[in-house]
Amino acid sequence: MPIVLRSFTWEKDFESIQKFLAETYTLTNSFHNWAPTRFENRKFGPCDAEYQVEEDELVKIWELSIKSNPNTREIVAVTIMNASGANWIQIHPKHKYLEKKLVLWIEEQLNITKDNPTIISRFYVLGSDEDRMSLLVDLGYENLGVEEYTRVRPIDMPVPDYNLPKGYVIRGVNIKQDFKRYREVTGAVFPHCLKMTEKLFKKYTSATFYNENLDIIAVAPNGEFAAFATFRLDPISKIVEVEPVGTHSNHRKLGLASSVICEGLNRLKKYNPSAIVILGAANTPGANRLYDKLGFTEKTEIYTMEKEI
């Protein structure tokens, strides 16, 4: 049965890709593919420029055409490209044999569109995906080392108690009232979030994964937002991605990051999550201590693999 390549459009194909990502997680019990929330965040992320229709062209769907029923097609892979040279392959475990073809196809697209004498192709690969690591090495990619980690917390692990400093409170975000303080605290940790507009914020809060009860804020005695942790809950797979997490520099070393994460973990219980994951946990001593302490101890390295085309 032939594999057919076709274009992606958000309105037509978003739900199909979300179901594909949920299914492959169930089959592999791994995050070699993205969690559905990460794909949805391509359009709804509040800290980048507003999503443009042209960005649909960076996503391609690879389908198995069923001869007995030409109108029925099964997604076997999704390729995602980025203007920076970063590329991702989401693939069904039954069709891993296609990976070399997909990598070479991506490289061809980079060559077709390049307007510089040198262009870089880059993949981020979990260390547990030994097949892809070996394939990329064979194709001339250099392993630049650990970029970050994927961390998973057992869903049945008890949540630690936490104690807030005097005068601090924890609550969920109020979408109608909190935009300016929300932008200020997220921008203090991730400077590109200072570009967040109210329009982008409202779009973000309309994503299927967003729940204001699971967007946790620590508020200082003076009313300033001091720390934050967002728990993105995919409604199909029930996978929860913890992203983003941070503490304002004025309020660090008070245990606030731990507190907002623990509060979110407590609130998650009634939603019966299937997995709780941090897909891009920072590779820093502070982040490692925090996530180890809170039970995100199933840690897998994410390596940067790079090649000059």
Residue 119: the pLDDT is 85
Residue 111: the pLDDT is 76
Beta bridge mates, 246: 228
Q: Give the span between the Cα atoms of 300 and 33, in whole angstroms.
A: 13
DSSP label at residue 96? G
Residue 173: the pLDDT is 97
Burial class (CB in 10 A: 0-12, 13-18, 19+), 161: exposed
Q: Considering the chain, what percentage of its residues have pLDDT values greater than 70? A: 96
Residue 48: the pLDDT is 87
Q: What is the dihedral of CA 157, 126, 189, 83, to 10 degrees?
A: -150
Task: Tell me the mean pLDDT in the region 130-142.
Answer: 97
Confidence of residue 67 (pLDDT cuts 50, 70, 90): low
Residue 102: the pLDDT is 97
Residue 263: the pLDDT is 98
Residue range 218-271, pLDDT digits in tens: 999 999 999 999 999 999 999 999 999 999 999 999 999 999 999 999 999 999
Q: Which domains does the chain have, with CATH numbers?
A: 3-141+304-308 (3.40.630.30), 169-303 (3.40.630.30)
Residue range 179-198, pLDDT digits in tens: 999 999 999 999 999 999 99
Confidence of residue 69 (pLDDT cuts 50, 70, 90): low
Task: Count each helix (H run) and each strand (E run) in the chain, helices first.
Answer: 8, 12
Peptide bond preceding 165: is omega within 30 degrees of 0, i.e. cis? no
Q: Is the CA virtual torsion 158, 240, 176, 245 positive or negative?
A: positive
Residue 71: the pLDDT is 64
Q: Give the span between the Cα atoms of 158 and 140, in whole angstroms.
A: 45
166, pLDDT greater than 80: yes
Question: Taking all residues of the chain, what is their mean pLDDT, rounded to a whole number?
Answer: 94
Task: Tell me the mean pLDDT in the region 73-94.
Answer: 93
Closest Cα partner for 209 from 195, 230, 180, 178? 230
**Tokens matching residue 23:** 């299914």
Q: Give the span between the Cα atoms of 209 and 198, in whole angstroms.
A: 19
113, pLDDT greater than 70: no
Q: Give the span between the Cα atoms of 174 and 255, in whole angstroms.
A: 23
Residue 2: the pLDDT is 84
Q: Where are the alpha helices (DSSP H) in 7-69?
A: 10-28, 36-44
Task: Tell me the mean pLDDT in the region 44-59.
Answer: 94
Antiparallel, parallel or unpaired: β 120-126 and 298-308 = antiparallel
Task: Tell me the mean pLDDT in the region 154-172.
Answer: 96
